[in-house]
Amino acid sequence: MIKKTMYIAFTLVVFTCHSTYALVSKTNSERKELKISQIEELAKIGNTDAQFYLVRFYLENPIDSQKDITKGLFWLEKVAENKPPKFQEWVGSIFHYGRYTDRDFRKALYWYKKAADNGRASAMDLVGLFYSGGLGGLKPSCEDALKWYKKALTGGFSQSEGNLVWVLSTCPDPQYRDGAQALQLALKIIAQKGTREAVDLDNLAAAYAETNQFDLALKLQKEALSKVDKKEENARYKKLSERLELYKQKKTWQGASNMSPEDYNQ
């Protein structure tokens, strides 16, 4: 029994020394490659620490030659599958706004929907946005947008009120427009905030236009424009200006959500 124990101990020492010698004899590049391959093996069997390591290694490596965006995003999505909805929404935003890679609205929607299904109210609002704007392969639907905005509001995401105002004021399908309700909500938002932000003024102007109060719509739209930097937010400035011209002609603006990335130069 003693001889067998000594033999096992001796074998482990020899193996360890041999492995250490083999590792030391390799170049720094080879050792790093070996380490990464070992971490990837752990990641493949579900080790979340290994997966997180690979996400950071491939996405945020200061050495460009060691970055691999495709691999980094692959492991990020693996990690996100079983993470809290806040994390899943964050992953959706990476694809929504094109961080690390080109925008991918379909993947963004997948992660927003996953987070929303897991109870994340702000993600519910974003799913509503995608329905309103027809993003991620969805057919534009005021009905679905309103449904998701209301769910988000019920879940405690108060910003959804502004999106409700927008759909009620500008939906191309008249059966979902309700200018009176939109106006009531828009005035309530500004009163509660105590501030006059461009997005809220734009919403209020649209509500006034929908109720045929174009003089007030013009006044509010001009104020909204005054709060947007033409150079910094050129695309958004143009959208606001387009609506201003319509209100001058006593016409309403109808279409997709005014919250798409393009409106914010994103």
Q: Where are the domains of the chain?
A: 159-266
Identify whether the C-beta of residue 136 lies closer than 8 Å to the C-beta of residue 109: yes
pLDDT for the residue numbered 262: 52
Q: What percent of the chain has pLDDT over 90?
A: 69
Angle (CA) 126-110-81 rounded to 5° is 115
pLDDT for the residue numbered 2: 38
pLDDT above 90 (res 233): no
pLDDT classification of 64: cutoffs 50, 70, 90: confident
pLDDT (mean) for 226-238 = 90
φ, ψ of residue 172 to 5 degrees: the values are: -60, -25
Distance CA 162, CA 190 (A): 10
Q: Kindly give the interhelix angle for 121-133 and 85-97, rounded to the nearest 10 degrees.
A: 30
Cβ neighbours of residue 41 closer than 8 Å, sequence gap 6 or more: none
Assigned token pair, 257: 């959500």
pLDDT for the residue numbered 33: 66
pLDDT (mean) for 247-251 = 97
pLDDT for the residue numbered 5: 39
- Cite the DSSP H helix spans in the chain: 2-24, 28-44, 48-60, 69-80, 85-97, 105-117, 121-133, 142-154, 160-170, 179-193, 198-210, 214-226, 234-248
pLDDT classification of 82: cutoffs 50, 70, 90: confident
pLDDT above 50 (res 4): no
Angle (CA) 113-114-115 rounded to 5° is 90
pLDDT for the residue numbered 87: 95
Q: What percent of the chain has pLDDT over 70?
A: 83
Average per-residue pLDDT for the chain: 85
pLDDT for the residue numbered 257: 65
pLDDT for the residue numbered 32: 61
pLDDT classification of 24: cutoffs 50, 70, 90: very low
Alpha-carbon distances of 14 from 6, 7, 17, rounded to whole Å? 12, 10, 5
Alpha-carbon distances of 58 from 36, 52, 83, rounded to whole Å? 10, 10, 20
pLDDT (mean) for 9-20 = 35
pLDDT (mean) for 70-81 = 92
Burial of 78 from C-beta contacts in 10 A (0-12 / 13-18 / 19+): middle
pLDDT for the residue numbered 94: 94
